[in-house]
Chains A and B, each alone.
Chain A
Amino acid sequence: MSDVMIDARELTKHYGSVTALKNATFHVNRGEVVGFLGPNGAGKTTTMKILTCFIAPSGGTARVAGADIFDDPIAVRQAIGYLPESTPLYTEMLVLEYLEFVGRMRGLSGSNLQARLRAVVGETSLGEVIGKSIGELSKGFRQRVGLAQALIHEPPVLILDEPMSGLDPNQASEIRELIRQIGRERTVILSTHNLAEVQVTCGRVLIISQGQLVADDTPSELAARAGKPRFLATLQQNGHTESDIRKAFAVIGGAQSVRQQAGASAGEMVVEVVPKGNQDLRADIFRAAVSANLVLLGLEQRGENLEDVFRQLTTGDPVASS
């Protein structure tokens, strides 16, 4: 089997006169975590439903783990762990009962099933709610049950439709961490409209707008399109002025400008350093501060933000993917 786990070719889907997806061609390799980004109604869910063989495309085709969605949908489904949007589960069932059901449907039985149950319950930290009915669970736990059912048969490919929506920040970061762990061994596609999430979780981003794929790139490369990064250094004041800092930071060759920012706390000052190109100046800033005896309290990179790219790509004319 090749390393291409998902190979979508010119996927097109019409719902009546509405075109939900137009000639989407992309591929995802083994071990990649790919973020599927786009506004609501852009075609993310449609694509996922096509890949899981829930609906058939009007045109084009796709192969998942080597199996064609038309010729061998059962093999495709067996290769995929799927978490649909809003995590539909049988709420009247107990967590364990439900996972057992899914395990059996996935062809597990006996000690094999028991071992996998233990494994996914451990992975998704469901131990404390295993005997509860799914209807009683909080949104975060339900989401984990959804992930557990997607993982139970150790699928090579995971397709997660908005796995973090509706979660509070703590729950979201737990799920994000979980997805990152899963992504080390498996191929993951997740859809979202949360940009920060993509930057943290995904190695590659597909941006889709009005049914068309408008970008296919790494988060940082996409961000680079949005504009230069900036660096904000927080320093201990100690009587320094802006010009002192400028002098100290003059040794940073890659810096285009050094400027003091307003809004620092008492006793501190914030300095913005803009690089000439797209290079990362954090190490240089640190060294410059140390050699000038400045106390560096904080250093952050700003402007590496997908939001601008996203807005540009999804509201303006489609840009050719790079």
Chain B
Amino acid sequence: MRHIFTIGGRQFRSYFNGPVAYIVICIVMLALGFFFWKTFFLFGLASAREMFRWLGLILVFALPALTMGLLAEEKRTGTIELLITMPVTEAQVILGKFLGVLGLYAVLLLLTIPYPISVSTLGNLDWGPVFGGYLGLVLQGSAVLAIGLMASSWTSNQLIALFVALTLSVFFWVLDKFLALLPTNAASALEWLSFDYHFQSMSRGVIDLRDVLFFVSVTVFALSAAFRALESRRWS
């Protein structure tokens, strides 16, 4: 357990020694500010719904940039060899890396808290959907980050990791957007696989265990795949 925190802590701190984390944070905050305030006063409603709607989408695009280097860069530079030959298991390495990027994601989410707070000063804000929304962001974010880590475990090229992660997470986000074109059975199955479908239901303030389980399952699946990929190096 301590190894996981040591690896995670190192990863978290190393984000602040490089440009990627700052760039991602800046872009996310700028995009959020732009989309949120553009329409906020038109509605004349003290609601943070719009913030979560936009943030959910922006993060699907932004988070893969944080995960692309997690393992790919270590493989490219060879530092993975030193990391793995310390007395740790592959699972600890994967969980540590995941924890590190999750920590940075938490910082990013903390930076958005001024939004609901300032909305609440403008009118009567219902905090239920805000908590639901943040829980949804944490869960959806975990899934996207885990997918990114998985993609990063497949290659030693950060750009490939970025594109694979982007493709997968955007695919899962977009799944429920074309349902009208499909027969009902297929449509409900696709809807159920969609990130946004589960996320939207949480950001309405409804915490449904099925939504939670969906994101947790995706996260666990992606992390296990990353573990497999890291382990397979021994037998190649």
Contacts and interface: CB of A to CB of B under 8 A. Distances in A.
A77 B79 contact: no
B225 to A, nearest CB: 20
Nearest to B96: A105
A52 B14 contact: no
B86 A105 contact: yes
A91 B6 CA distance: 18
A74 B13 CA distance: 26
A234 B207 CA distance: 92
Contact of B236 (A55, A85, A105): A55
Nearest to A88: B78
Interface string B112-138: 000000000000000000000000000
A74 B87 contact: yes
Contact of A84 (B82, B88, B234, B235): B82
Given A92-B18, A105-B3, A78 B78 contact: no
A52 B10 contact: no
B85 A101 contact: no
Contacts of B85: 52-54, 77, 80, 82, 84
B78 A92 contact: no
Interface residues of B, number: 25
A93 B85 CA distance: 19
A93 B14 CA distance: 7
B230 to A, nearest CB: 11
Contacts of B233: 54-55
Contact of A101 (B10, B81, B87, B88): B10
B39 interface: no
A51 to B, nearest CB: 10
Contacts of A56: 234-235
Nearest to B10: A101
B89 interface: yes
Given A92-B17, A101-B6, A105-B6, A54 B81 contact: yes
Contacts of A104: 2, 6
A193 interface: no
Interface string A65-103: 000000000110110101011101111110001000110
A78 B87 CA distance: 5
A86 B89 contact: no
B84 interface: yes
B78 A84 contact: yes
A74 B84 CA distance: 10
Contacts of A105: 3, 6-7, 86-88
A82 B88 CA distance: 14
Contacts of B82: 82, 84, 88-89, 149
A15 B236 contact: yes
B79 A54 contact: no
Given A101-B6, A101-B10, A88 B79 contact: yes
B234 A89 contact: no
A106 interface: yes
Given A54-B233, A105-B88, 16 more contacts: A54-B84, A55-B236, A56-B235, A74-B88, A77-B87, A80-B85, A84-B78, A90-B14, A90-B79, A92-B14, A102-B86, A105-B3, A105-B6, A105-B7, A105-B86, A107-B87
Interface of B: 2-3, 6-7, 10, 13-14, 17-18, 77-82, 84-89, 233-236
25 contacts: A15-B236, A53-B85, A54-B233, A54-B234, A55-B234, A56-B234, A74-B87, A77-B85, A77-B86, A82-B85, A84-B82, A86-B78, A88-B77, A88-B81, A88-B82, A89-B79, A89-B82, A90-B14, A90-B79, A93-B10, A97-B13, A101-B6, A105-B3, A106-B86, A149-B82
